[in-house]
């Protein structure tokens, strides 16, 4: 991945390199771009600025730039500048010097719109290629070491200011993607906790609990999962207190199973490699804390991530084992592969007790069942509080990290009652994502709470305008927006 530098300058046509121009179905080319070869290409391609269309011309007559790319920006009513930025990045590829005209026809974009273009460019150019050696890296010789993208804008200072905040959010998304992509042999619970500790540099207070400390707190559910791994569990707590000093925090809690073999209830071999991403919830939480601290959000937010590895071992827990959670409630572990809820049970209880947060949102790659229900374009939203659910759903619509509310209720709750303990960790064959949510609900007391099942959206994701796929960083932009719109200032 070449190093990318993004800058903003007063609009002017470049003397060389690649020029990117936006064309909506309601706007023409800027008058300064008259070129017979460009006009001919537009006619031959019947280019009318439709979303998804483009025209790409090398060395157009009468224009100094070496390459001109026209990007269809579609109708103004459904124009999303972040996604448009992603399309721009996909079009210029590995070109070393790029100028993007941040205008539609003669109309200049607002500073926040131009900043969103740059944000989309940054998200789309992300690649996880650190383990590609020269021998296998595609186009190694052709690709430049550095890429400079300049946005030609009306007000460079205002655009730069707007981008600084989005740049912090992008840092959070990139961190989440990196962690989800990182293989489990490199990223164990201890290494993940060290990543959380790094946020101290941004003014975040970080506390890491060891197994000994978690044992003292009585976290039998989390530790039962961890006991099958030679790598010890950690609980990382990150506090960003940018808000008023007496205000209760918002709490974000993440499932951080660095690898999920299923344990003794072992998973099939095919596709098991994907379970390196079973810490997507924890990645989103560390990512959003990084984003909030990076943009100095005026909000009090606690992030907590339960970090364990679910392995098969002589010391692993067995189906039928009964564990005592920190809340005192007992759990019969009928399937060791339903481990995420066991981890979250203790983290939710601990955070609720220790911080008395005004609300809690947990994120987890919790069930395959949510993928059966919703596919890969919406995460499941479960909540005991309508206002909280609405706030999250709105943030989802605004960012494109979409949520779909799922039902909860006593009919589902009774499916996890157990003969031998207070509850069992699996329901029946039906409604698997819902019974998982009912399980979590038993550990949150009266606190407004929402659970986001991101199994279908955080990992194994299809590519999009702003993501080249697999690790999407889902949740970071969503929660950043949720905080900005509901808990800041
Ligand atoms: N981590 C998995 C869920 C998952 C599946 C995430 C596919 C991403 C992609 C979770 O720990 C799990 O194994 N859930 C089981 C629960 C079952 C045993 C009740 C499942 O969904 O099959
Ligand atoms: Mn599992
Ligand atoms: Zn899991």
SS3 readout for 92-134? HCCCCEEEEEEEECCEECCHHHHHHHHHHHHHHCCCCCCCCCC
Query: What distance in angstroms lies between residue 60's CA and the mean position of ligand 2's atoms?
Result: 56
Q: What is the pLDDT of residues 422-478, one digit of tens each?
A: 999 999 999 999 999 999 999 999 999 999 999 999 999 999 999 999 999 999 999
pLDDT band at 70 (very low <50, low <70, confident <90, very high): very high
Our answer to whether residue 318 is catalytic in this structure is: no
The Cα 64–Cα 338 span in angstroms is 61
Give catalytic status of residue 50 as yes or no: no
- 140 pLDDT more than 60: no
Listed in sequence order, the residues at least 6 apart from 347 whose beta carbon sits closer than 8 Å to its beta carbon are: 222, 235, 253, 304, 305, 306, 362
50, 79, 248, 267: the active-site residue: 267
Q: Report the chain's mean pLDDT, rounded to a whole number.
A: 97
Atom 17 of ligand 1: nearest residue by CA position: 338
Ligand 1 atom, smallest distance to 368 CA = 21
What is the rounded average pLDDT of the residues 222-236? Answer: 99
Q: Residue written as tokens 């998804």?
A: 52
Residue 139: predicted pLDDT: 61
- Interatomic CA distance for residues 86 and 91, integer angstroms: 9
- State how far the Cα of 228 lies from the Cα of 319, in Å rounded to an integer: 13
CA of 446 to the centre of ligand 1 (A): 27
Q: Is the pLDDT of residue 1 over 90?
A: no
From CA 372, how far away is CA 375, in angstroms rounded?
6
Pocket test for ligand 1, best of 258, 268, 455 (most atoms within 8 A of CB): 455
Q: What is the DSSP letter of 350?
A: H
Q: What is the 279 CA–ligand 2 centroid distance (Å)? A: 11
Instruction: Say what the pLDDT of residue 141 is.
Output: 58
Cα-to-centroid distance, 260 and ligand 3 (Å): 5
Distance from C-alpha of 229 to C-alpha of 343, rounded to nearest angstrom: 14
Q: Comparing 14-18, 24-28, 50-54, 395-399, which segment has the lowest mean pLDDT?
A: 24-28
143 pLDDT tier (thresholds 50, 70, 90):
confident
- Which residue in 67, 234, 341, 481 is the catalytic one? 341
Phi, psi of 487 (to 5 degrees): -135, 20
Residues lining ligand 1, judged by CB closer than 6 Å?
Answer: 260, 262, 278, 335, 337-340, 365-369, 426, 432, 455
Q: What is the torsional sign of CA 428, 432, 436, 438?
A: negative
Report in angstroms the alpha-carbon separations of 34 from 29, 213, 445: 8, 70, 66
Q: Which atom of ligand 1 is nearest to the CA of 459?
A: 8
State both tokens at 62.
Answer: 């009468």
Q: Give the sign of the dihedral formed by CA 211, CA 214, CA 218, CA 223.
A: negative
Comparing CA positions, the residue from 294, 291, 255 lying closest to residue 275 is 255
pLDDT tens, residue by residue, 7-25: 999 988 999 999 999 999 8
3-state helix, strand, coil in the chain (%, to 5): 35, 25, 40
Ligand nearest to the CA of 335: 1
For residue 474, the ligand closest to its alpha carbon is 1
CA gap 151, 98 in Å, rounded: 8
Q: What is the pLDDT of residue 136?
A: 75
């Amino acid at each position: 991945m070449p190093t990318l530098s993004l800058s903003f300058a007063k609009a002017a046509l470049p003397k060389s390199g690649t020029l990117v121009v936006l064309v909506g179905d309601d706007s023409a080319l800027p008058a300064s771009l008259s070129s017979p070869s460009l006009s001919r290409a537009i006619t031959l391609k019947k280019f009318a600025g439709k979303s998804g269309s483009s025209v790409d011309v090398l060395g157009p007559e009468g224009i100094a730039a070496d390459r001109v790319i026209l990007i269809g920006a579609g109708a103004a009513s459904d124009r999303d500048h972040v996604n448009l930025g992603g399309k721009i990045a996909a079009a210029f590829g590995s070109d070393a010097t790029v100028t993007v005209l941040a205008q539609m026809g003669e109309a200049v974009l607002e500073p926040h719109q131009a900043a969103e273009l740059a944000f989309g460019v940054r998200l789309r150019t992300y690649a996880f290629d650190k383990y590609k050696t020269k021998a296998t890296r595609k186009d190694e010789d052709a690709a430049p070491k550095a890429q400079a993208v300049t946005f030609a804008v009306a007000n460079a200072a205002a655009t730069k200011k707007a981008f600084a905040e989005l740049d912090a959010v992008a840092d959070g998304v990139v961190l989440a993607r990196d962690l989800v992509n990182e293989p489990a042999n490199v990223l164990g619970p201890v290494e993940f906790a060290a990543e959380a500790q790094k946020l101290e540099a941004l003014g975040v207070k970080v506390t890491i609990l060891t197994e000994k400390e978690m044992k003292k707190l009585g976290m039998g559910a989390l530790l039962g999962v961890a006991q099958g791994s030679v790598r010890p569990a950690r609980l990382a707590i990150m506090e960003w207190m940018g808000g008023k000093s007496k205000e209760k925090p918002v709490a974000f809690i993440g499932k951080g199973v660095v690898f999920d073999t299923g344990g003794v209830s072992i998973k099939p071999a095919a596709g098991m490699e994907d379970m390196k991403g079973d810490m997507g919830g924890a990645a989103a939480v560390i990512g959003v804390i990084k984003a909030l601290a990076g943009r100095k959000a005026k909000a009090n937010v606690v992030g907590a991530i339960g970090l364990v590895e679910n392995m098969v071992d002589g010391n692993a827990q067995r189906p039928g084992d009964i564990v005592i959670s920190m809340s005192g409630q007992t759990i019969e572990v009928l399937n060791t592969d339903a481990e995420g809820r066991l981890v979250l049970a203790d983290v939710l209880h601990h955070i609720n007790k220790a911080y008395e947060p005004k609300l809690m949102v947990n994120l987890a790659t919790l069930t395959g069942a949510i993928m059966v229900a919703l596919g890969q374009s919406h995460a499941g939203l479960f909540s005991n509080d309508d206002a909280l659910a609405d706030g999250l759903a709105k943030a989802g619509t605004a960012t494109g990290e979409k949520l779909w509310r799922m039902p909860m209720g006593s009919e589902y709750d009774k499916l996890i009652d157990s003969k031998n303990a207070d509850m069992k960790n699996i329901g029946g064959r039906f409604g698997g994502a819902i019974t998982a949510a009912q399980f979590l609900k038993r550990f949150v007391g009266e606190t407004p709470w929402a659970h986001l099942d991101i199994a279908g959206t955080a990992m194994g994701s299809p590519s999009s305008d702003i993501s080249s796929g697999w690790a999407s960083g889902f949740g970071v932009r969503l929660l950043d927006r949720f905080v900005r719109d509901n808990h800041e200032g």
